[in-house]
């Protein structure tokens, strides 16, 4: 059970690589030192049950979600409440906010910034968080911008790997699934490249291959890349198997989605090939690609991964509010 961070604040003067009180829009804002500091602050968010902290008392977070969410919205809200702050939110902003009457995102963000101390935004357009940050005079945290990025997810993914394996150097990560529209893959592969010796293998449906510009950026950053359709061979040397769902909502043609969705699944042959030290992650939700039978495998880390969203988001909110 996570409880709000009331641990000793002796490290409070530490300077993160991104501006305290600033936006969280992309993993490109972080360096390895800032990541380690976020993890250290997150570590301090595990304390014995003692009720919510009062660190964020009197402060308000606005959670504005134009796309569905279970984990991101609720873990952000839990994190804010555990810090002693308050929450205002709209979970179906496309229908239930004045966006349904034609209000622009810019106007909505300007207005919400007048009501809350920070904004957590999920929106279907790539670049929406950046746009929000341009008009809002409070910190904006990107909770997923269309097929663009999901930076806070990547932070908790990396945190899970760090806690599970004890480090992030020299990893072989197999990214299975939709690498074209999968924003969690985009963010995580850009984040892990901050650590030396990374090898990524992409196992993606033919119509959901990683964007060429992303691959070029990774190669330029010194990452060793493999692109293959042989999942079993790929996982034989994997440290991390990062499974993702095919992003149905991004495909204009349903038959293209069906074609992609049938390609890969974590079956018994994949589990057999994955080394005993490998870990299986999934940002969730899962559909068919990760059967429930995998849940009892000792390498299945995805439920713990989802839980770690709370301390990571406590750390991010605390830094954005300047209270941690
Ligand atoms: N929940 C993650 C996201 O919002 C992954 C997914 O939906 O497949 O990007
Ligand atoms: N991992 C994740 O973003 O989950 P939700 O879409 O449920 O928020």
Centre of ligand 2 to C-alpha 250, Å, is: 15
d(CA 82, CA 258): 41
The ligand that comes nearest to the alpha carbon of residue 306 is 2
d(CA 14, CA 55): 17
Q: What torsion, rounded to 10 degrees, do the Cα atoms 3, 7, 9, 15 define?
A: -50
Indicate which residues carry an active-site annotation: 71-72, 101, 122, 150
- By most ligand atoms within 8 Å of CB, the mutation choice from 144, 155, 303 for ligand 2 is 144
Centre of ligand 1 to C-alpha 105, Å, is: 21
Give the pLDDT of residue 8: 38
| 4-149+308-321 matches 151-305 in fold | yes
What is the tens place of the pLDDT at every residue in 84-133? 999 999 989 988 999 999 999 999 999 999 999 999 999 999 999 999 99
Ligand 2, atom nearest to 284 Cα = 1
Q: Could you tell me the residue ranges of all domains in the chain?
A: 4-149+308-321, 151-305
Our answer on whether the CB atom of 184 is closer than 6 Å to any ligand 1 atom is: yes
Our answer on whether the CB atom of 151 is closer than 6 Å to any ligand 1 atom is: no
Element (H, E) at 282: none
Which stretches of 166-301 are DSSP H helices? Answer: 183-192, 212-220, 231-235, 254-261, 268-273
Give the pLDDT of residue 311: 95
Give the pLDDT of residue 48: 53
CA distances from 40 to 5, 11, 75, 99, 144 (A): 12, 9, 19, 39, 24
- By most ligand atoms within 8 Å of CB, the mutation choice from 129, 181, 284 for ligand 2 is 284
Domain 4-149+308-321 has CATH 3.40.50.1370: yes
Give the pLDDT of residue 46: 76
Where does 151-305 sit in CATH, by number? 3.40.50.1370
What is the tens place of the pLDDT at every residue in 192-226? 999 999 999 999 999 999 999 999 999 999 999 99
- Bridging pattern class, strands 199-203 and 172-176: parallel
Q: Which residues of the chain have pLDDT under 70?
A: 1-21, 47-51
Q: What residues flank ligand 2, with Cβ below 6 Å?
A: 69-72, 153, 283-285
């Amino acid at each position: 059970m996570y409880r709000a961070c009331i641990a000793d604040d002796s490290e409070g003067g530490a300077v993160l690589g991104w501006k305290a009180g600033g936006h969280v829009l992309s993993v490109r804002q972080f360096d390895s030192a800032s990541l380690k500091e976020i993890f250290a602050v997150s570590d301090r968010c595990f304390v014995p049950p003692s009720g919510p902290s009062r660190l964020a008392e009197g402060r308000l977070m606005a959670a504005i979600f134009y796309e569905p969410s279970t984990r991101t919205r609720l873990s952000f809200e839990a994190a804010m409440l555990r810090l002693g702050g308050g929450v205002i939110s709209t979970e179906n902003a496309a229908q239930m906010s004045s966006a349904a009457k034609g209000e622009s995102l810019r106007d909505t963000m300007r207005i919400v910034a007048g009501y809350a101390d920070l904004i957590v935004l999920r929106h279907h357009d790539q670049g929406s968080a950046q746009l929000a940050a341009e008009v809002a005079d409070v910190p904006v945290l990107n909770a997923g911008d269309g097929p663009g990025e999901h930076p806070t997810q990547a932070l908790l993914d990396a945190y899970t790997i760090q806690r599970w394996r004890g480090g992030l150097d020299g990893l072989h990560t197999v990214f299975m699934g939709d690498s074209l529209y999968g924003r969690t893959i985009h963010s995580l592969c850009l984040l892990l490249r901050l650590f030396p010796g990374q090898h990524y293998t992409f196992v993606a449906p033919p119509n959901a291959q990683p964007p060429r510009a992303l691959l070029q950026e990774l190669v330029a950053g010194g990452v060793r890349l493999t692109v293959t359709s042989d999942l079993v061979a790929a996982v034989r040397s994997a440290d991390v198997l990062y499974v993702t769902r095919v992003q149905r909502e991004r495909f204009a043609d349903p038959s293209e989605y069906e074609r992609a969705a049938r390609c890969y699944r974590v079956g018994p042959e994949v589990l057999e090939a994955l080394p005993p030290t490998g870990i299986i992650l999934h940002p969730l939700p899962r559909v068919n690609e990760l059967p429930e039978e995998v849940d009892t495998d000792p390498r299945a880390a995805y439920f713990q991964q989802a839980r770690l969203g709370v301390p990571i988001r406590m750390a991010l909110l605390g830094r954005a509010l300047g209270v941690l």
